[in-house]
Amino acid sequence: MRVGTEPVFAPFEFPKEGSKDLTGFDIELIEALGKKMGYKVEIVSMGFDALIPALNSGNIDVVAAGMSINEERQKAVTFSEPYYTSGLIVMVNKDNNEVKSVKDLEGKRIACQIGTTGENKSRTVEGAKVKAFNTQDEASLELKNGGADAVIGDAPVIEYYMTKAGKDFAKTVGERMEAEPYGIAVKKGSKLAGDLNKALAELKKSGEYDKLYTKWFGEKK
Ligand code: ARG
């Protein structure tokens, strides 16, 4: 099973320290699912906006990339049952006392990752100058370097970043926006969707899913 991902998205997919191999919640989950389904899993990295085209051209069989299930994507691909609930959040520089939520971003410079729901949200902000980058980390660097006033991105990824490089210069503001369920995407109509759902249900039943969840996110709230 060839699994496509965009690998700069800790704690879901990111390189292991000092190695090219990937780790993270999505990676361990898809490996466990593949094992249940009787497949050898091969991870293929690419840009986030290349994932759905790669699925539809047959270069990969599934996408495991913290991909939010939404109507627009459902026109192009089939999703598994949701396996994680995310949501967007705003990140600004520590010394920014002006921006308290997404409402304060009108006319401001917003950095985000190309092709993501964070980019979609950024583009709905009145008069904003949207700067879309290949990775979430590049968007965060743009904030650090003063090229953006805020970043809009997935809360669990930004919160993780806040425990690492982000803690020196950034903070999150406001509440998480609407809930975004993550799903594993497959080619429209592929029977892999049913097989993934069955395997996911088994991992939930056996406690393996909870174990992975706690390993990466701590106790479930
Ligand atoms: N959840 C967001 C979306 O679906 C961002 C996902 C980005 N994932 C990644 N591996 N870079 O648009």
The answer on pLDDT for 221 being more than 80 is no
Does 65 sit in the ligand 1 pocket, CB within 6 Å?
yes
Both tokens of 56, joined, read 């539809």
pLDDT digits (tens, 9 = 90+) for 16-75: 999 989 999 999 999 999 999 999 999 999 999 999 999 999 999 999 999 999 999 999
Instruction: Please state the atom number of ligand 1 nearest to the C-alpha of residue 119.
Output: 12
The answer on pLDDT for 219 being more than 90 is no
Return the percentage of the chain with pLDDT > 70, whole number.
100
| 52 CB neighbour count, 10 Å cutoff | 20
pLDDT digits (tens, 9 = 90+) for 71-112: 999 999 999 999 999 999 999 999 999 999 999 999 999 999
Q: Count how many residues are written for the chain.
A: 221
Q: Quote helix, strand, coil % in the chain, to nearest 5.
A: 40, 25, 35
Q: What is the pTM of this model?
A: 0.97
Contact call for residues 7 and 14 (beta carbons, < 8 A)? yes
From the CA of 64, how far away is ligand 1's center (Å)?
A: 10
From the CA of 67, how far away is ligand 1's center (Å)?
A: 5
Contact call for residues 1 and 41 (beta carbons, < 8 A)? yes
Both tokens of 113, joined, read 């990752």
| Confidence at residue 220, expressed as pLDDT on a 0 to 100 scale | 75
Mean pLDDT over each residue of the chain, to the nearest integer: 97
Does 216 sit in the ligand 1 pocket, CB within 6 Å?
no
Q: What DSSP element (H or E) covers 35?
A: helix 25-37
The answer on pLDDT for 5 being more than 70 is yes
Specify the 3-state DSSP secondary structure of 56: helix
Q: Atom 12 in ligand 1: which residue has the minimum CA distance?
A: 116
Q: Name which of 95, 127, 133, 94 is nearest 111 in CA terms.
A: 133
| Residue to substitute in 27, 136, 137, 151 for testing ligand 1 pocket (most ligand atoms within 8 angstroms of CB) | 136
pLDDT digits (tens, 9 = 90+) for 148-188: 999 999 999 999 999 999 999 999 999 999 999 999 999 99
Q: Name which of 135, 146, 137 is nearest 94 in CA terms.
A: 146
Instruction: Please state the atom number of ligand 1 nearest to the C-alpha of residue 120.
Output: 12
| Confidence at residue 131, expressed as pLDDT on a 0 to 100 scale | 98
